[in-house]
Structure 1
């Protein structure tokens, strides 16, 4: 596999020029200058390129092994690479200083997350889940739980997992059957947890001293459905009052999954309470476990979208290196008619530019969402925080769903650029495709992300948050249209915004029908998410075009800006039209789905 190089130049472009360091203008980050942030990104780039990335192929080939005692061995080098990450303080980069973290903006933590997943997606999943556990515990844990468990998580000495899925409870978590029985008050304030959870990412390993499992379960007297589910923290090793580790808790890895990709990530079936019962502690309020878990899930969904961007970036680098090196055929007579690298063939260039333009657009949108997270958490004005949070709520399903769908397609194009060499494992292109394919599935399938956007998020404010974003899209389109050399880009972006507004109105109108509204949203949700993702990503590339053109007109000779203009042209003239076609799908309605007899297929 081609060595990985962190895209530091594009990170600087997004943070400095597109976002104009909006996060640094918040009071919480007034002591963090752009020089510090750049130094952080450069050091993260070194860690991921030199320590994590060389292990990516080995992790894929070696995989994980479950020993007879239920313990897990991870690929050689993974434990040391994780330790280097933890020792560097990276696990707490976006955690507030009051909780023991570095207190840097979410937008920077998100950029670091991209580098982790680009360099080694399987290993990157471990700290990604820990970040979600920190969020859940910080927001909903009691002072006692936070004082005992939070610091080791922030430091990376312990890791966290998310335990939702059961054999009969996947997307429908109301079916959770794992039990939490209150103990005798004379024993202490804890529960005995029993049951089995499946598909638990990094459910067991030896890279850290302890693992904290956040588990959804229900008390014996709890009502059926979502309101009966509570959230518990179940440590692998019990923790003594002085913070030292005690005896092993009654939780064990019963098996590991043999997956299509991310072989270096141990995906476990965990059995709780096979003996006396696993000791667990209630997090937050009884019966509100699903609400509390969504704190962790939203964090994870945003980072899964960034994970998709990371794998797409790695696929871009892999494909470009191969296309520049592989000699095959001749270029056109107009260009000399000589033997050439395949990067000279225009169809290969089309694929390379498609990969690059989309990856850059997805990165910009994901970091825009992260910047809105910073505003939602730290802005002085309550109204400003509320508006930003509404934008985050709309953007997260788009970042998660659209970015991961696109990442699979980008990784697939990477295989195509390699030709036959892409279909074998030798080059590493196939691994990226296999790894990326899980991202549209976990942390809520992309169909669920689409339903969240087209159903819950639109209905809760009548589309106001998305409409506000579209105001900015239209403002960018107007700015492009007033520039002679960019006017055609403005026309394309304006048309996309018009299509999305019309589609939003259509989905909202159909959703309000008391009889057919639910079916309409289900049928139209995925094309609506696709249209939204295309338009918002095109918006980012429209902004990029304005910045790049201004620099070139000011005399810059930096090829980065010329390439950015080419990417913007591709995104707005070649990619956006594919997304705009989703309006036709939405206008066509869902009658063919409603009348279908699935058994006849």
Structure 2
């Protein structure tokens, strides 16, 4: 059975040499305990847990899946024990406030943990992952009584959490939400409606499940302006903060899915369930964005994780599998054939996986630093700081989610291709990674929705191109510093050209959209992918610069690692980054070829 190996060497490189996390943590009000030794110990222990406990359950969980009987869901064998080990290790509260039972470490530490867990066993990691979003929402928008009631058991991992948005008639268009909340004499609300695609909606890992639910008050305005947010627990808390009577919320069915079968995806029925308003009336969508943004960054990990896992397994296979002779001559003359890793096309696939996995991880770590500052702003009550870093992170979030999940899925298919026919056979695990990863481009907003959010809302509507100008200036300033280095000059010069082009493309789209409103939707996907390739190029230049500096100043202890970084950066710039120009051309194409056919003429079936 294939196994997962935590990429601790690469993680330490990013933390200590590329992004200088030790200084970053030292600058944070709550970062005093995140010393290099503590961080390294946490990474090592989390890596051990993922390798020894979670990874062995990945394939067996897929084979067994979840079972619904009499309204109760049973998770696959080994999941309950693994979850108890997770709870006993204190992993759920790693970045949670100490006031509510957490360890108070920076938010980015939680992301490092999530990356390893998600790579080792994504379906398992979804259970505690959904809880983290519920915790963030209650912490930022709940009153003190709600925090005391729900945050402590959620932080301890005794209770789980969900987000309940989607309904049968609406997914992305939440203005169509029909679930209603009737005010009750005791100040609570009776919540009635049906929610679908609810991850972790019902399971046997925790003693209670706290649902964060969008619903409408009786006099609410129509559309998204009339949505409120409610806490609806599976069991009502008793007077002592424990589990009380059963609430009117049940699992109606489990979805039969393509992948992530060990993760319970539920249809949830709320039948006059007692709920409690969180945040202001009719502002539920704004509050829910806290949860959604948390989930979207988390989903971006499902682009990086599968690329990493697929790369690890296909690399091992390519070293052992023998077929034909390399075109440049025999590489393994004592064997009947050469290992397929010597074939250029196989190396193309492996290096694509490596470049995406390592580049994507670095993109996440770059964003995680911004998240730390935003969380600190919330803690300090510094609205200006929150707004500054929320804007920066808001620009990157759709790129992280959309671009990384699209490339991550591509990488899983490349891994399967490296295996050839064996990749199609279940026992090797490659087809499971493909199936599990396909959902990543869909949930928490499809790639198209992320693209519209990026181009239509964040770039054109909200900032008039300012978001691109600000970020591209950061990129260009970094590139200019390395133009004189002959090893980095090709990368830096290309990046400077791209930052200029990025701004020109943005302006041209802004002007063209005034005459053709469909252009924004038509160009959005290409704009997102272009933005992703440029952003990853910036991140690869940062890695290459750190590697070059280390080789010049003491990298002789592990020169192969740093040389591999430079080689992978070269591969990215030469083989993957040129894709950006295809997207640049396509995004400026007229919409006529898309829109000229009437709906009834799209098909001629006779």
TM-score above 0.5: yes
SS in 2 for 1:260: coil
Distance 1:291 1:336, change over 3 A: closer
Find the aligned partners of 1:79 and 1:231 in 2 and give their Cα distance.
30
| 2:223 paired residue number | 225
| 2:17 paired residue number | 17
Q: Is the 8 A contact 1:319 1:417 kept in 2?
A: yes
Spell out, residue by residue over 1:468-498, the C-alpha distance to the aligned partner (whole angstroms, 9 max, x if none): 2211221333233211122222232223222
Question: How far 1:74 moved relative to its partner?
Answer: 0.8
**1:309 partnered with 2:304:** yes
Find the aligned partners of 1:17 and 1:39 in 2 and give their Cα distance.
18
| 2:318 paired residue number | 323
SS in 2 for 1:253: strand
SS in 2 for 1:94: coil
Find the aligned partners of 1:225 and 1:106 in 2 and give their Cα distance.
33
Find the aligned partners of 1:352 and 1:153 in 2 and give their Cα distance.
40
Spell out, residue by residue over 1:456-477, the C-alpha distance to the aligned partner (whole angstroms, 9 max, x if none): 1112122323322211221333
Q: Is the 8 A contact 1:211 1:237 kept in 2?
A: yes
What RMSD, in angstroms, separates the aligned Cα atoms of the two structures? 1.6
| 2:254 paired residue number | 256
**1:560 partnered with 2:561:** yes
SS in 1 for 2:294: helix
| 2:417 paired residue number | 416
SS in 2 for 1:28: coil
Question: How far 1:589 moved relative to its partner?
Answer: 3.1
Find the aligned partners of 1:492 and 1:5 in 2 and give their Cα distance.
34
SS in 1 for 2:217: coil
Find the aligned partners of 2:273 and 2:384 in 1 and give their Cα distance.
44
Q: Is the 8 A contact 2:254 2:267 kept in 1?
A: yes
Taking the TM superposition and a 5 Å limit, the aligned residue runs for 1:440-455 are: 440-455=441-456
| Counterpart among 16, 39, 48 of residue 46 in structure 1 | 48
Question: How far 1:78 moved relative to its partner?
Answer: 0.7
Question: How far 1:227 moved relative to its partner?
Answer: 1.7
Question: How far 1:37 moved relative to its partner?
Answer: 0.9
Find the aligned partners of 2:505 and 2:37 in 1 and give their Cα distance.
43
Q: Is the 8 A contact 1:496 1:576 kept in 2?
A: no
Question: How far 1:25 moved relative to its partner?
Answer: 2.1
Distance 1:223 1:111, change over 3 A: same
Q: Is the 8 A contact 2:31 2:106 kept in 1?
A: yes
Question: How far 1:545 moved relative to its partner?
Answer: 0.9
Normalised by the length of structure 2, the TM-score is 0.95
SS in 2 for 1:270: strand
Q: Is the 8 A contact 2:211 2:233 kept in 1?
A: yes
Q: Is the 8 A contact 1:425 1:431 kept in 2?
A: yes
Spell out, residue by residue over 1:222-245, the C-alpha distance to the aligned partner (whole angstroms, 9 max, x if none): 222112211111111111121121
Q: Is the 8 A contact 1:239 1:246 kept in 2?
A: yes
Find the aligned partners of 1:160 and 1:385 in 2 and give their Cα distance.
25
SS in 2 for 1:438: helix
Find the aligned partners of 1:599 and 1:530 in 2 and give their Cα distance.
31
Normalised by the length of structure 1, the TM-score is 0.95
Find the aligned partners of 1:176 and 1:312 in 2 and give their Cα distance.
35
Q: Is the 8 A contact 1:23 1:375 kept in 2?
A: no
Q: Is the 8 A contact 1:305 1:399 kept in 2?
A: yes
Find the aligned partners of 2:281 and 2:404 in 1 and give their Cα distance.
35
Distance 1:237 1:449, change over 3 A: same
| Counterpart among 272, 278, 282 of residue 277 in structure 2 | 282
| Counterpart among 346, 349, 356 of residue 348 in structure 1 | 346
Taking the TM superposition and a 5 Å limit, the aligned residue runs for 1:98-497 are: 98-183=99-184, 185=185, 188-273=186-271, 277-334=272-329, 336=331, 338=333, 339-378=337-376, 385-458=386-459, 459-497=461-499
Range that drifts further, 470-479 or 415-424: 470-479
Q: Is the 8 A contact 1:203 1:266 kept in 2?
A: yes
Q: Is the 8 A contact 2:230 2:275 kept in 1?
A: yes
Distance 1:337 1:267, change over 3 A: closer
Question: How far 1:220 moved relative to its partner?
Answer: 2.2
In structure 2, stretches of 5+ residues that fail to align are none
Question: How far 1:382 moved relative to its partner?
Answer: 6.4
Distance 1:382 1:236, change over 3 A: closer
**1:544 partnered with 2:543:** yes
Find the aligned partners of 2:218 and 2:77 in 1 and give their Cα distance.
43
| 1:2 paired residue number | 2
Spell out, residue by residue over 1:278-311, the C-alpha distance to the aligned partner (whole angstroms, 9 max, x if none): 1111111111111111110011101100122112
| 1:531 paired residue number | 530
SS in 2 for 1:91: coil
Aligned residue pairs total: 591
Question: How far 1:362 moved relative to its partner?
Answer: 0.8
Question: How far 1:385 moved relative to its partner?
Answer: 4.7
| Counterpart among 489, 497, 500 of residue 498 in structure 1 | 500
SS in 1 for 2:241: coil
Distance 1:596 1:35, change over 3 A: farther
In structure 1, stretches of 5+ residues that fail to align are none
Find the aligned partners of 2:473 and 2:214 in 1 and give their Cα distance.
40
Find the aligned partners of 1:135 and 1:247 in 2 and give their Cα distance.
26
SS in 1 for 2:190: strand
Find the aligned partners of 1:571 and 1:336 in 2 and give their Cα distance.
26
